[in-house]
Homo-oligomer: A and B are copies of this chain.
Amino acid sequence: MQVVDLLLEPTWIVPIEPGDRALEGHAVVVDGGAIVDLLPAADAKARYAPREHVELPGHVVLPGFVNAHVHNPMTLLRGLADDAPLATWLREHVWPVEARWVGEEFVRDGAELAIVEMLRSGTTTCSELYFFPDVLAATYRAHGFRAVVGAPILEFPTAWARDADEYLAKADALVGDADGLVGYALAPHAPYTVSDPTFERVLELAEARDLLIHTHVHESSAEIDEELVARGVRPFERLRRLGVVSSRLLAAHMTHLTPEEIELVAELGATVVHCPESNMKLANGFCPVDRLLDAGARVIVGTDGPASNNDLDMLGELRTAALLVKGASRDATKLPAIRALRMATIEAARALRLDHLVGSIEPGKRADLIAVDLSQPETSPVYDPISQLLYAAHRGLVREAWIDGKRRLRAGVVEDVDLPGVLAKARAWRERIAGGAGA
């Protein structure tokens, strides 16, 4: 009998790879933070002597979700100004509030609130893009949360840096600090906020340090129209000419794509981060997910910031993605449940270059695992646990989560977090930002 840390025995396991199906009566064996085996439960109990044996009847275990496009400190602005168009929302509400309030404390407190929300809804890795990436990295590490932190790069001054030179210098200084849990990307904000020379320097730094480039592309049609007037070229095409469109690129949003642009995304190996709920809520249009997939492009999923969604709920976002592509393509067979789940696990891990660590339940990978309770009324009966996960389950049924083999969520409660303190800080920020009453 081999002594191991954990034997996890749910009713179903969806390993994601290999195979596109749910295993019944199996167990995952974890030791030293890594997955060491996946095998029939009876064999597992005969072969391993676990320090902890967790039985989860009626639950399905799968890899934790990867939320590929977040601005987590914006949890503190959740619901500040809804039902407004993108330009109004940004210029009259979000940017003025950010200019007044964003600093180290705001970023840390907002990220902590986001970490709690993400753990409670089954997300174990996020790809972040916000100010004070140093504070973000420290906060994710402190909470044992896996993240790729994008160092922001803009032309104009914010609390984080004065100009492109300083943003780039700070990014360069930061990215050497990566470890097994937190990595870095370069995050030039968007074509409409970053100049050609700065994109060239971003690309140079990305190549020198072998980093991903995470940016917003074609979030709205207005942005495309304005760039066409100002520069005579569509933003995606401008990025392509600059050499930014490659397997290094995580392009968030990507609405309003031409057939040629769709082909180029696939051909050049860039990743599209689809944010369906944000795109709908801000009326920015639809990302042509079915045509991108048909062309062979990689599409993964992000919630976007909680001020424009207004949540960090990946189960909900995947469900919306699956429903929307069926509705928009008029084909109910598009993006079946397992394919949607793959977008938030193995495909996202590959895009983020983390697939040697996470994205599937395979021996050798780190144990980033979640358990969802399918024994409740809203998920009964279970004909197909994969269907049930995507189309019937909701984030309230995510009960357990491990990151790097460490338990982070137990029976729906986040471990090692001062929840009342996190919530009190959120209320205090609301008081400061909006003034007046409210609980």
A residues with a Cβ closer than 8 A to B are 11-12, 24, 57-58, 75-76, 78-80, 82-86, 89, 113, 116-117, 120-121, 277, 279-286, 306, 309-313, 316, 320, 322-324, 326-327, 329-334, 336-337, 374-375, 377-378, 380-384, 387-388, 391-392, 394-397, 419, 422-423, 426-427, 429-430, 434, 437-439
Contact = CB atoms under 8 A, between A and B. Distances in A.
A382 B310 CA distance: 12
Contacts of A388: 78-79, 310
A337 B81 CA distance: 11
A285 B439 contact: no
A383 B277 CA distance: 20
Given A57-B439, A377-B423, A323 B391 contact: no
B375 A336 contact: no
Given A24-B437, A381-B76, A85 B310 contact: no
B383 A434 contact: yes
Contacts of A331: 85, 283
A86 to B, nearest CB: 7
Contact of A332 (B58, B86, B120, B336): B86
A326 B283 contact: yes
A434 B382 CA distance: 10
Contacts of A121: 378
Contacts of A392: 78-79, 306, 310-311
Contacts of A384: 79, 82
Contacts of A313: 378, 394
Nearest to A76: B381
A281 B331 CA distance: 9
A323 B388 CA distance: 23
A329 to B, nearest CB: 7
Given A116-B377, A332-B86, A382-B430, A280 B324 contact: yes
Contacts of A336: 82-83
Nearest to A280: B327
Contact of A329 (B283, B330, B438): B283
Nearest to A279: B327
Nearest to A112: B377
B282 A419 contact: no
Nearest to A384: B79
A323 B377 contact: no
A387 B310 CA distance: 9
A391 B309 contact: yes
11 contacts: A79-B383, A82-B384, A116-B377, A282-B326, A377-B422, A377-B423, A378-B395, A381-B430, A382-B430, A395-B396, A396-B396
Contacts of A380: 75, 78, 113, 423, 426-427
Contacts of A332: 83-86, 89, 281-283
A390 B17 CA distance: 36
Nearest to A309: B391
A387 to B, nearest CB: 4
B377 A310 contact: no
A438 B57 CA distance: 11
B337 A83 contact: yes
A240 to B, nearest CB: 26
B79 A280 contact: no
A145 to B, nearest CB: 14
A427 B120 CA distance: 27
Nearest to A312: B378
A310 B380 CA distance: 11
Contacts of A423: 375, 377, 380
Given A79-B387, A280-B323, A333 B378 contact: no
A114 to B, nearest CB: 9
B323 A383 contact: no
A18 B204 CA distance: 61
